[in-house]
Amino acid sequence: MEDLKPKTSIKYLEKMGITTLTEKDNGLPLSLGGLEKGISPLQMAGAYATIANDGKYIEPTFYTRIERKNGTTLLYAKQKSRQVFSKETAYILKEMLTEPVQGQNGTATYCKIAGVDVAAKTGTTDENYDRWLCGFTPYYTAVTWYGFDISESINFNQRNPAGLLWANVMSRVHTGLNSATFERPTSVAGVTICAETGKRATTGCQHKYVEYFLLFTKPTETCDKHKGQSLDSNTVDIKPKNNTTEIVKGITDDIDAKEPNPIKDKNTNTNTTTSTQTNKQKENTSNKTNTNTNTSANTTNTQNTNSNKTNNSNSNSNATNNTNNISSNITGTEDTTE
The span of 131-139, 218-226, 241-249, 298-306 binding Zn ion (CB under 5 A) equals: 218-226
- Among 328, 327, 322, 326, residue whose Cα is nearest residue 55: 322
Query: Using CA atoms, how far apart are residues 171 and 177, in angstroms rounded to an integer?
Result: 11
| Least gap, CB of 222 to Zn ion (angstroms) | 9
Smaller CB separation from Zn ion, 47 or 191: 191
| Least gap, CB of 252 to Zn ion (angstroms) | 45
Helix or strand or coil: residue 141?
strand
**Bridge-partner residues for 113, per DSSP?**
116
Give yes or no for residue 207 binding Zn ion (CB under 5 A).
Answer: no
Contact 130, 156 (CB under 8 A): no
- Among 165, 126, 169, 159, residue whose Cα is nearest residue 38: 126
Smaller CB separation from Zn ion, 162 or 205: 205
Encoded one letter per residue, x for contact with Zn ion by CB under 5 A and - for no contact, window 273-312 reads ----------------------------------------
Smaller CB separation from Zn ion, 45 or 194: 194
| Least gap, CB of 227 to Zn ion (angstroms) | 9
Identity of the amino acid at 288: K
Identity of the amino acid at 190: G
- Among 123, 114, 113, residue whose Cα is nearest residue 170: 113
Pairing of strands 73-76, 65-67: antiparallel
| Least gap, CB of 281 to Zn ion (angstroms) | 17
| Least gap, CB of 193 to Zn ion (angstroms) | 9
Residue 309: Cβ within 10 Å count:
19
| Least gap, CB of 194 to Zn ion (angstroms) | 3
Q: Which residue is nearest to Zn ion (CB)?
A: 194
Chain-centroid distance of CA 167 in Å reads: 13
Smaller CB separation from Zn ion, 228 or 332: 228
Residues 142-201 close enough to bind Zn ion by CB under 5 A: 194
Smaller CB separation from Zn ion, 49 or 194: 194
Smaller CB separation from Zn ion, 59 or 196: 196
DSSP string, 209-228: EEEEEEGGG---PBPSSS-S
Q: Which residues contact 39 (CB under 8 A, 6 or more apart)?
A: 18, 20, 47, 308, 310, 312
Encoded one letter per residue, x for contact with Zn ion by CB under 5 A and - for no contact, window 236-275 reads ----------------------------------------
Smaller CB separation from Zn ion, 56 or 200: 200
Give yes or no for residue 231 binding Zn ion (CB under 5 A).
Answer: no
Among 226, 276, 299, 327, binds Zn ion (CB under 5 A): 226
Query: Using CA atoms, how far apart are residues 52 and 135, in angstroms rounded to an integer?
Result: 9
| Least gap, CB of 275 to Zn ion (angstroms) | 17
Chain-centroid distance of CA 270 in Å reads: 25
Query: Using CA atoms, how far apart are residues 128 and 10, in angstroms rounded to an integer?
Result: 26
Smaller CB separation from Zn ion, 242 or 279: 279
For Zn ion, the binding residues (CB under 5 A) are: 194, 205, 223, 226
